[in-house]
Amino acid sequence: MKLKSLALAVAAAAALAGTAGSAFAQASEQFFPLLVYRTGPYAPNGTPWANGAQDYLKLVNATGGINGVKIAFEECETGYATDKGVECYERLKSRGASSFDPQATGITFALTDKVPHDKIPLITLGYGLAASQDGGVFKWNFPLMGSYWTAADILIQHIAKKEGGADKLKGKKITLVYHDSPFGKEPIPLLQERAKLNGFELSLIPVTAPGVEQKSAWLQVRQQRPDYVLLWGWGVMNSTALKEAVATGYPREKMFGVWWAGAEPDTRDVGANAKGYSALALNTSGTQPKVIQDILKQVHDKGQGSGPKDEVGSVLYTRGAIISMLRVEAVRRAQERFGKGKVMTGEQVRWGFENLALDQKRLDALGFSGVLRPISTSCQDHMGSTWARVHTWDGSKWGGMSDWYQADESIIKPMAKAAADKYAAEKKLTRREAADCQS
């Protein structure tokens, strides 16, 4: 009993000391919370993503911070689970977070209702809620560089181009094999809209999360013999789908993945068998961009790399670096207005995200030339860019970038507006006034 109470007392004292210690750290540093998943079925993809995000922050610190403001960061393991994500959010919020990148669509949905109260912007690069590109309703959400609607639209455009024109899609059969969660279901409304417009036949095959068991799904694919399969998977689901496609003999050349199904962990295990499989690319991969070289030089060569050196520059690693870059640039933009060299609050960083203007010159200066296209956000448009490319697995690496495609705004804009209005009506919100855009 005595030993037990002693242990308890020590633990309690340590807890107090710990919270006091971290409170001191936040005074002059910009705190970046990092929600990650390095364990569980999504870890193979979550790990390089998290490492890239962290290494870029280390690079910024090594090169003098954001106008002199150093970055403090802390990771919290969510395991891709919503309730753990909410716990992590609350934990890291109390350290003075100024933006969140939940890295999971489920967590994004739960946090979307919480961030307006806490006044912290929510960054969902290439994922999250498609309707949240409408900044008039979703003041605190930023689905930068694309949503699942832009992704689905670009894939259809790419398929149309392969077929030789949008009119050739008529009567074709396209099957969506998707992760049975909000993440996988998001593209469905757009695909249905496109199916009506282009006259192709859409069928939907859900795969129960996490997607290690897909025999029945691919049996259905074999029965339906679709002309194309769209793969909306994440984590272990992708490599399993490719293996099943090999087993059922579905040609990989006719499979197209979303940008979360187009990275090395998805195809490496399948190797040469996955040759010809294509997926969307939000960014390039490889170590040739200057920023990756800088990370290798300034972070990894000094022994501070977050992960193994050979994954630096992989698809998801680069995407992690991009997310961190955008978060850092939003802080920098906010500093331009609210005071250089100061620590920005969540509200100020939100203004920074809403007024991001990364032109080609700026991207070149940051070392991201060729990696992504310029981004410019506004009060109404929280996405900034709807461009993406398609890359192909050649059996050992991703490459063979296509031309840039832009999502068809005439389809997406009205849909996003209608969805945002529906959301606002359900939540009894009103659209932001024009004056609110100045704040």
Give the residues lining the site for other proteins (CB under 8 A): 11, 14-15, 17-18, 21-22, 36, 38-39, 43, 47, 50, 75-77, 79, 81-83, 86-87, 89-91, 93-94, 105-106, 109-110, 112-114, 117, 129, 180-182, 185-186, 188-189, 206, 209, 419, 426-428
Q: CB of residue 144 vs other proteins: minimum separation in angstroms?
A: 19
Per-residue burial over 255-274, b if 16 or more Cβ lie within 10 Å, else e, is bbbbbbbbbbbbbebbeebb
Q: Which lies closer to other proteins via its Cβ, residue 78 or residue 386? A: 78
Q: Which lies closer to other proteins via its Cβ, residue 168 or residue 413? A: 413
Q: CB of residue 382 vs other proteins: minimum separation in angstroms?
A: 18
362 residue type, one letter:
R
Q: Which lies closer to other proteins via its Cβ, residue 91 or residue 196? A: 91
Q: CB of residue 165 vs other proteins: minimum separation in angstroms?
A: 29
Backbone conformation region of residue 234, classed left if phi is above 0, alpha if psi is from -120 to 50, else beta: beta
Give the up-direction half-sphere exposure of residue 68: CA atoms within 13 A in the CB hemisphere. 6
Q: CB of residue 385 vs other proteins: minimum separation in angstroms?
A: 22
Distances (CA, A) of 245 to 207, 209, 240, 253, 417: 14, 18, 9, 11, 37
Q: CB of residue 252 vs other proteins: minimum separation in angstroms?
A: 28
Q: Which lies closer to other proteins via its Cβ, residue 46 or residue 121? A: 46
Rounded to an integer, what distance in angstroms lies between the CA atom of residue 241 and that of residue 205?
A: 12
Q: CB of residue 85 vs other proteins: minimum separation in angstroms?
A: 10
Q: Which lies closer to other proteins via its Cβ, residue 103 or residue 335? A: 103
Residues in the chain: 439
Rounded to an integer, what distance in angstroms lies between the CA atom of residue 255 and that of residue 243?
A: 12
**Residue of 23, 55, 20, 18 lying closest to 36 (CA atoms):** 55
408 residue type, one letter:
D
**Residue of 269, 278, 229 lying closest to 249 (CA atoms):** 229
Q: Which lies closer to other proteins via its Cβ, residue 47 or residue 198? A: 47
| CB-based burial label for 163 (10 Å; 0-12, 13-18, 19+) | middle
Q: Which lies closer to other proteins via its Cβ, residue 86 or residue 195? A: 86
Q: CB of residue 38 vs other proteins: minimum separation in angstroms?
A: 4
